[in-house]
Structures are given as C-alpha cells and as structure tokens.
Amino acid sequence: MDISSEMIHAILPLYLVTVLGTSTLTVGIIEGIAEATAAITKVFSGALSDWIGKRKFLAALGYGLAALTKPIFPLAPSAGWLIAARFVDRIGKGIRGAPRDALIADITDPELRGASFGLRQSLDTLGALLGPLFAILFLWAFSNDFTIVFWIAVIPAFISAGLIIVAVREPKRDRPERKVRMPLSRGELRRLGGNYWWVVAVASAFTLARFSEAFLVLKGQDIGLSIALVPAVMVVMNIAYFLSAYPVGALSDRVDRTTLLAIGIGLLVVADVVLAFSSGLIGLAAGAAIWGLHMGFTQGLLSTLVADTAPAELRGTAFGMFNLVTGVALLAASVTAGLLWDVIGPSGTFLGGAAFALITLAGLIALERRMRSNGGSLSSERQ
C-alpha cells in the first residue's frame, strides 16, 4: 500500500500546482486535512478494536477502502475530486492504523518491542522508497503523463488489500483482567496513565515542527529540478529513513529511548536549517537525507513508547488517541508551512520548523529531568 500511496503522494503536489494551478497554501491545507482525517478515524477504530477484542477485521477494512479509492486519482476532473479521494484514502488509513499497531504490540515480546516497531517502520519506508522510484521511472517512460502513473499505482494497492485478507492471521490475545466497556470514556482514558499522556504531549509538540514531506518535493521544484526528477527527493529521504529505523528501534531496546528521541529532534533542526539555506542539488540531497534520519530516530520510537506506557487491553485506544492528537498538530503544522511558503518563501517554512523543533527539544529535556527527579522516566514502563 505504501508503494501505491507514495507513487501518488510523490507527484500529487506537482500535479496540483503545475497542472491544476492550485497554490502551495492549498497543498498544505489538503495534506493537513488528509492526515488529520486519518488521525481522527484512528481513535475510533482503535477503541473499537479494544471493545470487540479483534484487530485484523478493522485493519483489512482500512486497507480495502484505501485500495478502492485509488482509481479516483486518474479519473478526477478537478482538484475537488482529488481532495475527496485523498480524504477517503486517509479514512482507510485511519481505520487500519491503530488496530495494526496494537496488533504488533500484542504479538511482540516486550524486550523486542523497539526492534519490532523499528522493523515495521523500516518495511513501511521500503514501500515508500519504491513508490517515488516507480513514479520517476513511469513519468520518464510516459513523458510526464501523470494520469498513467496514477493508474499504475492502483495495482499494488489491490495486491496489498488481498494479502491482508488472505495471509494475515489474528493471534490469540491474553484475556484481560477486566473487560474494556467504553474505551473512550473518561474512566478508561484515565487508566492510560500519566506517562502515556506525557508521551502524547511530547509527540504533539514535535509534530508541530514536522510538517508534511510534500514541502520537500516543492523544495526540489523550487531549486529547478525537472518534473521527472523531483520525486528523487523522496527517494533520498526514504533511503535514510529505511536504513535507520530498524537499527534505532533495536538500539532502543538496550539504551534510554528518550535520549534517542532527543537526537532525532536535533536531526530535524539540522535538516530544516540545511533545506532553508540550500539552493543547489547537494544541499537539497543532504537536507532530505538528514530529514530521513530524523524520521528513523523518532517515528518507530514514539510508537514504542505508546506501547510501553499503555495497558495491553487499551492499546488500540492508546494508539488511536495518540494519532488523533498528533494528527491535529500535523494539520496546524502543514497549514502554517504552506502559509509561510506563500508569504516568506521556502526559507521561512523550514526555519519555522527548526524553531518549533528547538522548543520541543528543550521541553523534552526539561520533562525528562523532572520525571527522573521524581523517580520515573518516559521510557521506564516496559510491559
């Protein structure tokens, strides 16, 4: 599914701006709404998976819905149709996301939890790496015909939906000490615990600094890359992401996870500064690679911290709430990034992201010191 989605995602901003004539602010709004939609849906699907005690059905439903929306992209006659397709596609992502992550936590030994989420993130990123590569290949082969590339992207989406329906098995879950009655009730949300909510707070602040990767694609266009080569920005980013996610996840099972998270936030600051001041191919490639490293240091690790700190019978709800709050933050970040791009230019977007990342880093360090002084840690609860 990542191959399919990233083939579309790698060229959709260019299609909107160059073919349909939309503004970069509109791109930011579309990307923000799309991701926020997925996040809002995740909270309900995650809670439902806790309530019924099943994960696979909801995950398969989400993958199937996403596959069914893919043909809309080549058939869309206007930006409105593309927005609708992106919206429904993200609903599918939202339905599958939290149950899938809870499923991974259910079947993984606690001492390998960081490695398991790192591996999941790495394999997800491999699909995301192949997607832009295929987009480059087919744009070149079909003389920048966006519609043909959109049609080709339909194929792996349907393969993905078929695989989860046929090949994935629901593992037997241990019976919880108490049945989850209303996962989204105040009482159940309180049971998620203080450390869990601190993880959510840190992740939300960090997400304000990490706007959509669509702006990396637009940066490639800004420095003068040809349309066929612009998706290479995503290829460079995803290579770094793919190579770092699993080693960092495995390392987090042996060292303090908060330290690794702080390194990841610092890498985002460096990436933003490099991209803000780069005007050539080398600077763009370096910035995209460092951006990918920061993703490898943070995304799987944040999921691991959620699994560490949430009760086993409420993991679906925990991942859903986590994605809801961070999704709202991503909406704000993407809209702000688009506005800064239109008003100030690319440097304003990336320097704004660096400023938010520095604030998040300072807050994370202060929070960890405070919790350690009280005898705790963000990553101290390993179930």
Q: Please, what are the domains in the chain?
A: 2-167+190-373 (1.20.1250.20)
Contact (CB, 8 A) for 341 and 357? no
Please give the pLDDT value at position 368.
74
Is pLDDT of 179 > 70?
no
Please give the pLDDT value at position 35.
65
Residues 6+ apart with CB under 8 A from 163: none
Residues 224-250: what's their mean pLDDT? Answer: 84
**Best-predicted range by mean pLDDT among 53-62, 120-129, 259-268?**
259-268
Contact (CB, 8 A) for 195 and 381? yes
Is pLDDT of 41 > 70?
yes
Q: Residues 114-169: pLDDT tens digits?
A: 899 999 989 888 887 888 788 888 888 888 888 898 899 999 999 999 988 888 88
Please give the pLDDT value at position 383.
44
Residue with more model confidence, 168 or 16:
168
pTM: 0.74
Structure-token pair, residue 357: 């990342």
Residue with more model confidence, 330 or 246:
246
User: What is the rounded distance in angstroms from the CA atom of residue 114 to the CA atom of residue 104?
Assistant: 11
Least trusted range by pLDDT, from 75-89, 149-163, 278-292, 309-323? 75-89
Confidence band for 49, pLDDT divided at 50, 70 and 90: confident
The mean predicted confidence, pLDDT, of the chain is 82
Is pLDDT of 59 > 60?
yes
Please give the pLDDT value at position 378.
62
User: What is the rounded distance in angstroms from the CA atom of residue 312 to the CA atom of residue 308?
Assistant: 9
User: What is the rounded distance in angstroms from the CA atom of residue 257 to the CA atom of residue 302?
Assistant: 9
Residues 296-308: what's their mean pLDDT? Answer: 88
Q: Residues 327-381: pLDDT tens digits?
A: 778 778 878 888 888 888 888 888 988 988 898 888 788 777 766 766 666 665 5
Sign of CA dihedral 214, 220, 225, 230: negative
Confidence band for 77, pLDDT divided at 50, 70 and 90: confident
Give buried/exposed letters for 249-258 (b at 16+ CB in 10 A, else e). Answer: bebbbeeebb
